[in-house]
Structure 1
Amino acid sequence: MDEAGHFKALMARLDLMREERKYCDVTITVESKHIHAHKDIICAASDYFNAMFSHDTLEKQQGLVAMKDVKYDAVKKCIDFIYSGKLSVSILQCEDILTCVTTMQLIQACQKIEYFLQGILNVESFFLVRDIALKFSLKNLLHSCDSFAVDNIVSLSKVEDFNTEELSFISSLISSEAMSIIEDDKLACVLQWLNADRCNRETNLMGLLQHVRAPKLSPGYCKYLMEQESLCHTSVELIRHLFAAVVGDGKIANFNPRDILSEAKISSHNSIIIFNETIEEVVSYFPSDGKLNPVIKYCDPMKPEELASCSLNSVLYIIFCNHQVFSFNLKDKNLSWTSLTNCKKSHGKYLRCTIYRNNIYVGGNDSLEKWDLTRNENWEDVDLEENICEELKLIQYEDFLFVIGGRDNDGKAVNNVMKSSPGIKWITVSPMNFEMADPSAAVLHSTLYVGGGPSNYGLEMYDAGTNIWTIIACKISPSRYKLFNIDYEIFGVFKEDDGCYIMEFDAENKAWKVKKRILTGGIWEPGTATAFY
């Protein structure tokens, strides 16, 4: 028998004696359970026990060690390891065992767990493994995690825990020279992380953008962001970065956000979709050239207040008060209607909708529900802390879902405003200055504009930073209207007795300028804005 075999046999014999409680002179008590061992053996393996029994301690006198804040199973595995050199663990046990291992100062056991965690490192286990590495200062494991993250950041960004990571982790990842992903994916990860807690993280955008090489961004992705990314309405830095990607750094000196529209032909929403009074005809209006074009016909006549509409990626979604939901793609040459999953509830004839975080939200008649565009499953109820009244407005602003105005159960117009986001309860926002039923709203830069409704007190604008509403006294006060942000300007579609007008808001003079009058088809109703190019 060689030396290794000799010591293996000796330790096996000692372990058997332990199990039979022969010559055991110490008892470890954990969670009211007992583990028997030999002082000399555990002192030789553990500096923790060696220090304890090297002095005239109560434990030495009584031969009894009471361990607190640790689990029995974890302590038993550590004592088993001292005798056998074997340690079997699962990822769910690692923290408990590492707590004991570090307490007992069992270096080899710690290394075994580190090797185990390195072996199971994958996208699903990454965030748990990394948390363990940080908690117990496992430098080798942490290095493995960092290397894995650099190689797999896109996959990791699809895991929910990615959005809760600290700025230092995100910054170290995207600044790594070893990262091989395309810049589009890198920027997508940055924007996803920022939007997960936009109120607290938006100030980090400029610093993170320094690690995204603008010349490497694809024009197509920049175009997509200008259409759909709400940060483009509030961050000049992001727009500047996209502008540099499209036209080159050499043209940045005289940068203006509107330059993107002319240089790259990018627009957040460059057309307005308008329905006629029976919804049998739909037209689009392009502010850039003043043209009004027919889009599609709908076969069944219906009153305009009995539907709600919203859009995403050139797809127009229409929700009717009879629960039916349809869509059509404005890029599709056939322009055919597609039937989607019906709503679960009736939200009254004054239902309203918007798209927020890839979900269609529909509200009205004291209820709110959502439908995930990416999963195409059933509609889900959204919890409410108070009733959602009728003739309200739903809109995304500052990465929150806002519910604005409407009528209460007594039919009175209200000035209430609430906001919410996933994981956050409804928050009451400062009320508007005026009560508004059937208001309209649009976001321009970092400001929310609200107006319209049958009472029509003009426009109000809301600043999220100060939580203050300010009245804009307009020289022209049309009746009911819808507001849209088109090419970094506020447009409105107004319903008057003699027809429907499209107007542009002159912020400097606080007045509306008539851009187009729709003469055909009787009275037209404002619908929604959607990307169309």
Structure 2
Amino acid sequence: MAPKECTLHPRSMLDSMNALKNQEEFCDITIVASQDEVKVHKFVLIAASEYFRAMFSSDTKEAKSGIVSFPDTPGDIVKQCINFIYSGKADFSLDCITDFIKASDIFCLHNLTDLYVEFLSENVTMDNVEEMLSVARVYHKEVLKTSIQIFFRDNLKAFIESENLQSLPKDDFLYLLSLVHNWGKEYEMLKWNAIVSWVKEEFCERKYAFLDLFYTIDISFLPRQFIKDHVIQDQLVSESVEVMFKICNTVLDEKPSKLPLVPTEKSTGIISCDKGTKLVYRYSLIEEEWSVFTRLPEGIATNVLDIVEYKGIVYVTTGNAILSFNGMG
């Protein structure tokens, strides 16, 4: 005969242990946080948390003294964690919510962390979405990630136009851009505008992040006219060989069987060298066509390692030299 289970027993046990804590009966550990002290039971902490289990399973000062101090953690946060261990319940507020999540994660109270995250996922707003982005990125919580994506489906444009965008650190901004994925051309254009706005707000410090941010954009979604009028005309693109290379190789309908390389000055296209015909071609994103730029001398074309254009002059790197050639005029 299968044993019967009393579903009330777990709750009754928690209530009994909580009562013992509140009455400070049989307590053998003192938790100290800020100016607060809480008397607790070692076996309860060990049963509830891998963090405390590790602490009391070795020859630590806490195991010897029976005193566990958290000088850098506010007392109300530690008390909330202890109360959850003894009751399975938690009070929720958006105030200092990330501090509560950090503490519950450190204490390995995974169920409490999940409760906090579930609460956050139901309360994403324009005022706290920056904080939510950081939490979702650091703790890899899918339910919060999904809620943020839903929020930005309706509010991405407003967020980009707000002051909140400029205060995002790079890692959180990258995470936001990665969430907006395969949503179509309108969202990819918004991402471009957001990247340009964010970088240029503090250009000297943020320009080095441009390449990483740009790679979150799916160029295939961007309309050709938008690329012509906005993307390739921007200083951030004209100064980035890698970005122009990616743009050209994405928008070209037919890529020649040559080696495409990117000009470094007025980057509105790419150049490439056909080693068979010894011709250097230029592709213009403005005109959307290839044209012959110059012809390389005999013996040079087959040894080309790299080729760039600067101020109308092609510079060719071969095995042992860098040579320059003017266009055909």
* Structure with larger Rg: 1
Offset at residue 80 of structure 1 (A)? 0.4
Equivalent residue, structure 1, for 2:256: none
Residue 59 of structure 1 corresponds to 62
Matches within 5 A, 1:133-532: 133-135=136-138, 137-141=139-143, 143-144=145-146, 147-148=149-150, 151=153, 152-163=155-166, 164-166=168-170, 168-169=174-175, 172-173=178-179, 176-179=181-184, 181=186, 184-202=189-207, 204=210, 208=214, 211-213=218-220, 216=223, 232=234, 236=238, 255=284
Residue equivalent to 2:129:
126
Three-state SS of the structure 2 residue aligned to 1:143 is helix
| 2:101 pairs with one of 95, 98, 102 | 98
Q: Aligned-pair distance for 1:207?
A: 7.5
- Is 1:75 aligned to 2:81, yes or no? no
2:164 is paired with a residue of what secondary structure?
Answer: helix
Q: 1:119 to 1:142 in 2, by over 3 A?
A: closer
2:89 counterpart SS class: coil
Q: Does 1:40 align with 2:47?
A: no
Between the aligned partners of 1:103 and 1:81, the Cα distance in structure 2 is 14
Q: Cα offset for 1:81?
A: 0.4
8 Å contact 1:186–1:212 — kept in the other structure?
A: no
Please point out which of 8, 17, 22 is paired with 1:19. Answer: 22
d(CA) in 1 for partners of 2:60, 2:283: 77
The one-letter code sitting in structure 2 at the alignment partner of 1:216 is: P
Q: 1:127 to 1:145 in 2, by over 3 A?
A: farther
Judge conservation of contact 1:114–1:138 (CA < 8 Å) in 2: no
Mapped partners of 1:215, 1:180: distance in 2: 5
CA 1:8–1:183: 2 relative to 1, 3 Å: closer
Task: Say which SS state the counterpart of residue 160 (structure 1) adopts.
Answer: coil
Matched position secondary structure for 2:90: coil
Distance change in 2, residues 1:118/1:159 (3 Å): same
**Conserved in 1, the CA contact under 8 Å of 2:185 and 2:221?**
no
Query: 1:25 is matched by which residue type in structure 2?
Result: D
The one-letter code matched in structure 2 to 1:140 is E
Give the distance between the partners of 1:215 and 1:81, measured in 2 at CA: 50
**2:12 alignment counterpart:** 9
Residues 55 and 162 of structure 1: CA distance in aligned 2, closer, same or farther (over 3 Å): same
Contact 2:24 2:39 survives alignment (8 Å):
yes
Write the deviation string for residues 349-370 of structure 1: whole angstroms up to 9, x where unpaired.
Answer: xxxxxxxxxxxxxxxxxxxxxx
1:195 is matched by which residue type in structure 2?
K
TM-score by length of 2: 0.60
**Count of aligned positions:** 246
Partner of 2:315: none
* Contact 2:45/2:85 (8 A) holds in 1: yes
Instruction: Tell me, yes or no, if the aligned pair for 2:46 and 2:52 is still in contact at 8 Å.
Output: yes
Q: Which has the larger share of strand? A: 1
Q: Distance in 2 between matches of 1:106 and 1:82?
A: 8
Instruction: Please give the TM-score of this superposition, normalised by the length of structure 1.
Output: 0.39
Letter in 2 for 1:112: L
Question: How far 1:15 sits from its partner (Å)?
Answer: 1.2
What is the Cα deviation at residue 173 of structure 1?
A: 4.9
Does the aligned pair in 1 maintain the 2:51–2:108 contact within 8 Å? yes
Q: Aligned letter for 1:88?
A: D
Distance 1:28 1:199 in 2: 47
CA shift for structure 1 position 79: 0.7
Q: Aligned partners of 1:206 and 1:52: how far apart in 2?
A: 41
Give, as a single letter, the amino acid of the residue that structure 2 aligns with 1:122: T
- Cα 1:104/1:215, change in 2 over 3 Å: closer
Conservation of the 8 A alpha-carbon contact between 1:117 and 1:141: no
> Higher helix fraction: Structure 1 or Structure 2?
2
Native 8 Å contact 2:185 2:222 kept in 1: no
Separation in 2 of the partners of 1:57 and 1:207?
A: 45
* CA positional deviation for 1:89: 2.5
Q: Relative contact order: is structure 1 or structure 2 higher (C-alpha 8 Å, sep ≥ 6)?
A: 1
Q: 1:126·1:145 contact (CA, 8 Å) conserved in 2?
A: no
The one-character-per-residue Cα deviations of 1:208-252 (angstroms, maximum 9, x if unpaired) are: 286344762667x977x69xx9x64785589x99xx9xxx97897
Amino acid at match of 1:198: F
What's the C-alpha RMSD, in Å, of the aligned pairs?
4.1
Kindly indicate whether the alpha-carbon contact (under 8 Å) linking 1:30 and 1:66 is maintained by their aligned counterparts in 2. yes
